[in-house]
Amino acid sequence: MKDTTLRNPAPGAHRSLFGHLPDGRAVEAVTLVSSRGISATILAYGATLQSVIVPGRDGVLADVTLGHATLQEYLAQPQYFGSSVGRVANRIAGGRFILDGQNYQVPCNNGLNALHGGPGGFDKALWTILEVAAEPEPRVVLAHVSPDGDEGFPGELRVTATYALRENGELAIDYAAASDRPTLVNMTNHAYWNLAGEGAPGGAMNHVLTIPAEHFLPTDETAIPTGEFALVEGTPFDFRTPTAIGARVRDASHPQIRIGTGYDHNWVVARERSAAPRLVARLVDPGSGRSLDVLSTEPGVQFYSGNFLDGSSVGKAGQCYRMGDGVALEPQMFPDTPNRPEFGSIRLAPGEAYRHAIIFRFGAEG
C-alpha cells in the first residue's frame, strides 16, 4: 500500500524544477522548511504560494492551501490559487479611472469590471528568482518588471515579493514596488485556505472565523462597492466574535449574501495603512486544531467563501474543489479605490516606495 503521509524535507531552502511554460521557459519552485515541521513552496510562476504544510494538534501534517500539483493545471484553468496579484488587486469599476487628470481604460476581465490587474496580471508572469537563502531564516526573493502600459497601467513598475518562513510559525510575505511614473498599486496574495487539509472532504465551512471590523463594504450586483461603510452589527457580516462560516453563508435574508452567493466582500479593519502588520482575520479548524492568523499593513481584507468553486479544478490531493472547499482572506486596500476618494489612495509616485507586509501565523489549538 502506498504511503501517503506528508513529510517535509530537511530545514532550509530547496530549489527545484516545477515545469516548463509553452515557450520552453523553466518554472522553478522553492520550498522553505522550518525546524518546527512547517514548509511553504513558492513557484516562480505568479510568485505563487503553491503549498503550505503545517501540523495539527496531534502533530499530523497537512497541506492547508489550495493549489495544483502541476504547472499545466495552473495554465489550463487559472483560479488565482496562491497567486501574487497586481498591479491592482480586486476590482476597478468598468476598468476605468482618472490619474492626475488623465483618463485610463484597462481590460475588463470580470464581466463589466477589471479584476486583479487584468487578464495578463502578475499572477501570469514568470518572476525572476533573485535570492534563495537558508539563513537567518529560509527565504526566497522574487522580482518582476511590469513595463509602461502593461495591461493599460502607466509607468514601468519594478516589484519584489519576499517570502520568509520564521521559527515562530509565521510565513511572512513582503511586497515592494517602485515606479518611474505615477501609477496605481494594490498588491496581495490570493491564497485559499482549508486548515483541515486541501483535499479534506468536509470543506472549510465549519472553520471558525474572526474579523475585527465594525464595518464592511456592500457592493452592487457586479461586486463593486457602493461607497457605503455599513455596520456589521446585526448582520451575517459580523465576525467580531468567532463564528462558523457555514452558520450564515447561505442566509438569503440579507441582500448582500444573495448578491455574492455567499461572502465576497471587503471588511474595514481600519481606515488607514499601518506601519506594522496588525491582525485582520483569524481562522480556526475545530477538527484539527489548526489556526491561522492573518496580519497586514493594509486596512481592508477581502473574505471570499469559495462560492464559485464548481468542481472543475483538481487539487494536489486529487480531489475536485467544490463550493466552500476553501476560503480566501486577501488583505488589501479597498476595492475600486481609484474611483472612490473616500476610500483613500493607491497612487504611487516616482521616488516613493510601495510596501505591503503580510504575515500568515500558523498554530494548533489543544
Q: Which residues are catalytic?
A: 190, 330
What's the rounded Cα separation, in Å, for the pair 297 and 154?
Answer: 25
Of 268, 290, 263, the closest CA to residue 281 belongs to 268
Determine how many CB atoms are found less than 10 A away from the CB of residue 129: 16
- Neighbour count for residue 190 (Cβ, 10 Å): 24
Q: How far out from the chain centre does Cα 329 lie? A: 6
Cis peptide, bond prior to residue 361, ω within 30 of zero: no
As a whole number of angstroms, the distance between CA 95 and CA 109 comes to 9
Q: Are 41 and 50 in contact (CB under 8 A)?
A: yes
DSSP 3-state of 36: coil
Question: What distances in angstroms separate CA 60 from CA 6, 34, 55, 69, 325, one per listed residue?
Answer: 8, 16, 5, 21, 20
* HSE, side-chain direction, 13 A CA sphere, residue 27: 23
Cell digits of residue 151: 495591461
Residue 357 parent element (H or E): strand 354-364
Query: Alpha-carbon distance 157 to 176, whole Å?
Result: 10
Rounded CA separation 47/156 (Å): 19
The CB density around residue 128, as the number of other CB atoms within 10 Å, is: 13
Distance set, CA 252 to CA 216, 234, 235, 246, 248 (Å): 17, 15, 11, 13, 9
